[in-house]
Amino acid sequence: MTAISNIASPFEKIEHIVTLQLLNQVIAIYDPKSEKHIQEIFNMITGLEQSEFEISNTLQKWNFVLPIYEDSIINNRVNIPKTAEIYFESQPGFKRYWSNILSPTRDNCCNTSLRQPEFGKNVTIYACDGPKKYSLMKRRCAICENQYFPNYVLKSDALDYTDHESFRHIILIFGIVGYSRELINRFDGDLLFKHSGFEAFQQSYAYELSINGLHDITHFDRRHFQLTWMFYKAAESMYKRGVHYVQIPFERDIDLFLWNSLASALESFCDRWSRHVLNNPCGPQCSKVIVLDGHQKCTRRVCRFEDEYMESTELGPIQTGCQFTPSYKSKYCELHQHLASKTNTSFHEDNLSDVSTEYEYDCEDQQSIVQKASSATKATKKISDMNISISVTEPMQTFDKEQASEEIFTNECETLKSKNESKTKQRRSCGAIAAVFNCGIIFGLAELFRSESIKQVYQFMANIFDGREDLLPNVVCYDDACHLSRFSWNTKKNVKHATKPSQKLAQMGFTVDKFHIKNHKDPWCLKHMDPYQHPAVDTVNTGACEQIFRWMALYKNIFRSLNHSRFMWMMMNVCELRNEHRLNDLFRKNKMKS
């Protein structure tokens, strides 16, 4: 007891020691005047008159003895953090240090140690239990002058970059407002299982905090949260592709960033999940058949200008119309706004229901976004260094496919989907097309325009086979396989430039899925496209796409108001979450069996 008294001197009460220790936690350790502030607040709480030297000496002695208490040893009548808050508010011109400190994890750069941490900026981080204040510290490199923050690096070119370590605890991208990793994960769960979008998440979050007594919270901006989430997912996708640093765009340029990186992201998505059978097979029937289908419930507004084309290596130009989102209260995008006055197609009070009001960009930013946006629309890029070879299924037919394509085809099926083109009137897109393995893993996505035309479907297939000719199955199930197969097999008539994907498609086996075969009446189709006549197709789930689209239709209210930059990003992220959940569920079941 005497030893403790000597260490506690000049204080007589353990309450004073604990108060001092808690103050030492509340006041940031990197505050150059921390001991001065601790002294003044301590004397204000206890009524004592301790000097700054006595405070410093006691803290050093008790650093080896006194643990960090979080119980009720301290006087419950005194709220230490609140008292410190009031004190700092009374200090004019003082650079505030919050009690929560986030320091850079990096220690060196350019083969030398970084300088000592210094104050960076104060930020607000929304967490599951409410918003919290943090002080971000930064460390400088003495050689290259890079400034390292906990969540990004400010390089000498005055641009901000993130790396794969930036999102370990917080997601702070734009401004001084960020989000905890746990809150982002909660939104992912709500999106996947509750099908709730950003607005619903904002309302749910505000309601939860209000019933917990946090009424004076800072406003949770769902648009800021959406932009942060979109960039976070895009950056994570780039890290998986081996990108070490991702430049953080200005908030007003996030749509341009998403649009220009969409093609490579879809390619990476296809590249990852097409290897499902190699990396994480889910059973003996895993990835035996490709199930193909279009989904037209999740659509978005598109410009009414029709004279735009998508370039195809195999087929040449394919008419898609302008893919950009119309300007606010208009049916034309900014590039084709001059046509609105000629055709008198601007929106009026009677048709404002088709106008996006939730996720649109600001009118002043749309012109620069659309004019700068890349015109590339091909979902995948060439891959020449892949040498993986796997035989998944045997080809379906043993007959001459080119000869079969020339057989009499009366078109009694009436399943040609380009007939529906006139119904869209170019106001909305035609949804998306997906390639799914029979085991339920989504591995290919692309947006459709005007209609689910054979040319767009063929080009989508050519894209996903590009570089993966020996990896993917040899059989495709599609509800309009009778038209797609004849188009693919007749290369002399339809293919302008032969490629490896076109050669692969010319040798592919096609069947109609089991759900739609009853709608096909043509004798040719019943002879060549019957799934029950193919041994590999007869035993697998050919309704995988229909099952996934029933689930995806629950997101239609979220997708319908997204612009051209965010639509496919959102769809791809949702499908990524679903695939990941299927794998995690599979691992859990296998672990329980073992």
Q: 82-126, pLDDT tens digit by residue?
A: 666 666 666 655 555 555 788 888 888 999 999 988 888 889 999
Q: Is 467 left (phi over 0), alpha (psi -120 to 50) or beta?
A: left
The whole-number pLDDT of residue 449 equals 93
DSSP-assigned letters across all residues of 194-236 = I---HHHHHHHHHHHHHHTT--SPPP--HHHHHHHHHHHHHHH
| Contacts of range 56-60, beta carbons closer than 8 Å, 24 or more positions apart | 58/8, 58/10, 58/11, 58/17, 58/20, 59/20, 59/21, 59/24, 59/35
Of 55-59, 438-442, 486-490, which gets the smallest average pLDDT? Answer: 55-59
pLDDT category of residue 412 using cuts at 50, 70 and 90: low
The whole-number pLDDT of residue 346 equals 46
Top pLDDT among 106 and 342 is at: 106
pLDDT category of residue 364 using cuts at 50, 70 and 90: very low
* Model confidence at 483: pLDDT above 70: yes
Name the CA dihedral angle for 197, 198, 204, 210, rounded to a multiple of 10 degrees.
-170
Of 121-135, 396-410, 572-586, which gets the smallest average pLDDT? Answer: 396-410
**Mean pLDDT throughout 506-531?**
84
Residue that the structure tokens 């890029």 belong to: 381
Q: What is the pLDDT of residues 2-47, one digit of tens each?
A: 445 555 566 667 777 777 777 776 665 556 677 788 888 888 888 8
The whole-number pLDDT of residue 28 equals 57
Instruction: Please give the structure tokens belonging to residue 290.
Output: 């490709």
**Rounded-to-integer distance, Cα 296 and Cα 542, Å:** 19
Q: What is the pLDDT of residues 309-330, one digit of tens each?
A: 999 999 999 999 999 999 888 8
Q: What is the pLDDT of residues 211-261, one digit of tens each?
A: 887 765 567 899 999 999 999 999 999 998 888 889 999 888 999 999 999
**Rounded-to-integer distance, Cα 509 and Cα 215, Å:** 62
**Rounded-to-integer distance, Cα 308 and Cα 429, Å:** 14
Of 47-56, 120-129, 545-554, which gets the smallest average pLDDT? Answer: 47-56
Top pLDDT among 346 and 551 is at: 551
SS3 566: coil
pLDDT category of residue 577 using cuts at 50, 70 and 90: very high
SS3 549: helix
SS3 485: helix
* Model confidence at 566: pLDDT above 80: yes
Cβ pair 322, 428 in contact under 8 A: no
Q: Across all residues in the chain, what is the average pLDDT?
A: 79
DSSP-assigned letters across all residues of 557-590 = HHHTT--TTTHHHHHHHHHHHHHHHHHHHHHHHH
Percent of the chain as helix, strand, coil, to the nearest 5: 45, 15, 45
Q: Are strands 290-295 and 475-478 parallel, antiparallel or unpaired?
A: parallel
**Mean pLDDT throughout 388-415?**
48
Q: Give Cα 132 distance to the centre of its chain.
A: 25
Instruction: Please give the structure tokens belonging to residue 20.
Output: 């001092």
Alpha-helix runs per DSSP H in 529-566: 535-538, 544-552, 556-559
Q: Give Cα 55 distance to the centre of its chain.
A: 50
The whole-number pLDDT of residue 416 equals 64
Cβ pair 395, 474 in contact under 8 A: yes
DSSP-assigned letters across all residues of 233-246 = HHHHHHHHTT---E
**Rounded-to-integer distance, Cα 206 and Cα 215, Å:** 9
Closest alpha carbon to 436 in 269, 196, 566: 269
The whole-number pLDDT of residue 182 equals 94
Q: Which amino acid is at 406?
A: E
Cβ pair 439, 544 in contact under 8 A: yes
Q: Which amino acid is at 29?
A: I
The whole-number pLDDT of residue 314 equals 92
Q: How many helices (H) and strands (E) does the chain have?
A: 24, 18
Cβ pair 475, 484 in contact under 8 A: no
**Rounded-to-integer distance, Cα 550 and Cα 568, Å:** 18
Q: What element of type H or E holds 138?
A: strand 130-140
Using a pLDDT cut of 90, give the percent of the chain over it.
35
Closest alpha carbon to 408 in 478, 458, 479, 482: 482
Omega into 326 within 30° of 0, i.e. cis?
no
**Rounded-to-integer distance, Cα 282 and Cα 276, Å:** 9
What backbone phi and psi angles, to 5 degrees, belong to 295? -120, 120
Sheet containing 442-447: give its strands across: 442-447, 432-437, 290-295, 475-478, 509-511
pLDDT category of residue 62 using cuts at 50, 70 and 90: low
**Mean pLDDT throughout 48-71?**
68
The whole-number pLDDT of residue 265 equals 94
**Mean pLDDT throughout 513-531?**
82
The whole-number pLDDT of residue 381 equals 35
Cβ pair 16, 41 in contact under 8 A: no
Top pLDDT among 522 and 446 is at: 446
The whole-number pLDDT of residue 464 equals 94
SS3 539: coil
- Per-residue DSSP letter, 39: H
**Rounded-to-integer distance, Cα 285 and Cα 536, Å:** 9
Q: What is the pLDDT of residues 525-540, one digit of tens each?
A: 888 888 888 888 888 8
The whole-number pLDDT of residue 92 equals 59
pLDDT category of residue 371 using cuts at 50, 70 and 90: low
**Rounded-to-integer distance, Cα 154 and Cα 160, Å:** 5
* Model confidence at 343: pLDDT above 70: no
**Mean pLDDT throughout 581-593?**
81
- A 10 A CB-CB count for 113 gives 12
pLDDT category of residue 575 using cuts at 50, 70 and 90: very high
* Model confidence at 348: pLDDT above 60: no
The whole-number pLDDT of residue 33 equals 72
Closest alpha carbon to 152 in 134, 133, 174: 174
The whole-number pLDDT of residue 358 equals 38
Q: What is the pLDDT of residues 149-200, one digit of tens each?
A: 988 899 888 888 998 888 888 899 988 899 999 999 999 999 999 999 999 9
Cβ pair 190, 204 in contact under 8 A: yes
The gap between the terminal CA atoms of the chain, to the nearest Å, is 57
